[in-house]
Structure 1
Amino acid sequence: MSERLSDNAAFPQKIGVREFRGNLTAYLRQVRQGSTILVTSHDEVVAELRPPAPSYRPRRQPGALRGRIRMSEDFDETPPDILESMERDL
């Protein structure tokens, strides 16, 4: 394997397509650990591999909206016109 494999995550390392293809597993392991890798073809960068951005989802907390949401008194009551339309013969 190439000696170009490094643990230095501060600077992206450039590797050729053939080198990348030949050591794919090792390079993907480095990316998983936080490294960025630039894949080149004829000294031109054709791809940048880096770990995905962390997805941010705030944790839901039961009761967080307590006191902010109110149900109307007649929430469970069916309005008379809708009730009548459901009971009518077809």
Structure 2
Amino acid sequence: MPPLEANIHEAKTHLSRLLRRVQAGEEVIISRAGTPIAKLVPITPRPDRKPGRLKGRIQIAADFDAPLPDEVLRSFEHD
């Protein structure tokens, strides 16, 4: 099914109705003088991130927070 198209006046007048359609999974193209300028699309839900799901799969080096060697520190300096 092709996306619904609305001009700017229709979009301003019927924004709530258009957003309900987007929420239901439809796409809406908003046009100015017949030229598409914007597309309203539903947001794809992100999967839930569960704390601890990578436990035991990531290791941090023992020297992670040790001071950096001088040559590395110098590489960050800008003269």
- Range class of TM-score, shorter chain: 0.5 to 0.7
- Once superposed, what is the RMSD of the aligned Cα atoms? 2.8
1:44 alignment partner in structure 2: 35
Identical residues among aligned pairs (%): 20
Matches within 5 A, 1:1-90: 10-60=1-51, 65=56
Residue ranges of structure 1 left out of the alignment (5+ in a row): 1-9, 70-90
CA separation of 1:13 and 1:62: change in aligned 2, threshold 3 A = closer
> TM-score normalised to the size of structure 1?
0.53
Residue ranges of structure 2 left out of the alignment (5+ in a row): 60-79
> TM-score normalised to the size of structure 2?
0.59
Q: Match of 2:17, as an amino acid?
A: A
Within 2, Cα distance between the matches of 1:55 and 1:49? 18
CA shift, 1:58, in A, is 4.9
Larger radius of gyration: 1
Secondary structure of the corresponding residue to residue 34 of structure 1: coil
